[in-house]
Chain A
Amino acid sequence: MSGLITWARIKSPWLFHFNSGSCNNCDIELLDALTPRFDVERFGILLEGSPRHADVLVVTGIVNRQTLPRLKRIYDQMPNPKIVVALGTCATSGGIFSEGYNIAGPVDKVIPVDVYIPGCPPRPQAIIDGIVKALAKIQALRGGKR
């Protein structure tokens, strides 16, 4: 039974995209990855509007003080098991904004991150690569709890 659930999760992970103060380049690249040219939908990946229906949380951008409580709340709203992908250099380490006055730290300072995709912005191919790695992680999470 758990094998069947894992199979279902890998075959169709639903994705929730959260912008935590990004410059929009990473967001555009993520949307590019969903276009017919790169088409992550062939892996069953669907961009979802509600965190309550999502398996994967994709965070772009630095986490600033205003988005910090929202990010925490969205993370809590997601059902278990959840995978968090930090998309872009800003989400990975703060990048060019890392010494700003309003930074609440990169994403992994706030919530546990599973896959990092560095790049400013990353190519759609790099995003696909990261998502494939995230799927491998879902497969390793057999049993449900993280």
Chain B
Amino acid sequence: MTKLKAVLEGFRALIKGPFTVRYPFEPSPPPETFRGAPKRDIEKCTACGACYQNCPTKAISILDLGKEVAVDVWYGKCIFCARCTEVCPEEAVKMSLTYDLSTYNKEEVRESVSMPAQRCQICGKLITSDRQVDKVIDRVKILPLPLNYHMMVSLCPECKRKQQATLLLGLRVERVPAITIPVAVSEKK
């Protein structure tokens, strides 16, 4: 009986062809649900840092490039857990089907997305990207706004706290440079 099975198997192989995948010579696409390298939609990403905070291996980093802020994913450290796609509020990160990441230089395998940065109006520290500020302003507009909301989004947490304290206690700060109010992109048009 087992011999018959083996013979049948042999005939089946004649019709179906070899079982081995001819990978390096022919492409071998993974299944639809495969978790390959996470790819970022440049149009949607706001560099909010949700993926950076939730990355279990710290493969994602937010880089300060002066006028720009970059989100950098190093696939050499990524474990393809898809946590970044789950936490992304803009749904900008998607797991692609890319798997052939092997390299001679491990620093090469990274994806970097950069966008204009928003800096603190007083101390110049990086807060977040322009896009994120626009998003925040858009979302806050539904509520009755405090008069100083433009100040709130253009200062870093530390400077904001100092400002609030001075406003509350009526103290005078020695030197506060003039604050330029950021205008949302939608208003510029």
Contact = CB atoms under 8 A, between A and B. Distances in A.
Contacts of B30: 123, 125
B136 to A, nearest CB: 32
A89 B76 contact: yes
Interface residues of B, number: 27
A80 to B, nearest CB: 19
B9 interface: no
Contacts of B145: none
A93 B103 CA distance: 13
Interface in B122-179: none
Interface in B25-54: 28, 30
A53 interface: no
B99 A89 contact: no
Interface stretch (A8-16, A71-79, A111-119): A111-119
A36 B19 contact: yes
Given A89-B76, A115-B104, A132 B24 contact: yes
B57 A118 contact: no
Contacts of A126: 99-102
Size bracket, chain A contacts: 20 to 34
Contacts, number: 89
Given A92-B106, A118-B106, A129-B102, A42 B20 contact: yes
A118 B103 CA distance: 8
Interface in B45-73: 56-58
Nearest to A137: B104
Contact of B104 (A37, A39, A42, A114): A114
B87 interface: no
A43 B152 CA distance: 63
B95 interface: no
Interface in B65-98: 74-81
A15 to B, nearest CB: 15
A106 to B, nearest CB: 9
Nearest to B98: A126
Given A108-B106, A116-B104, A118-B76, 18 more contacts: A37-B20, A38-B21, A89-B78, A95-B57, A95-B77, A98-B58, A115-B103, A116-B102, A117-B102, A118-B102, A120-B80, A122-B102, A125-B23, A125-B99, A126-B99, A126-B101, A128-B24, A133-B104
Interface of B: 19-21, 23-24, 28, 30, 56-58, 74-81, 99-106, 109
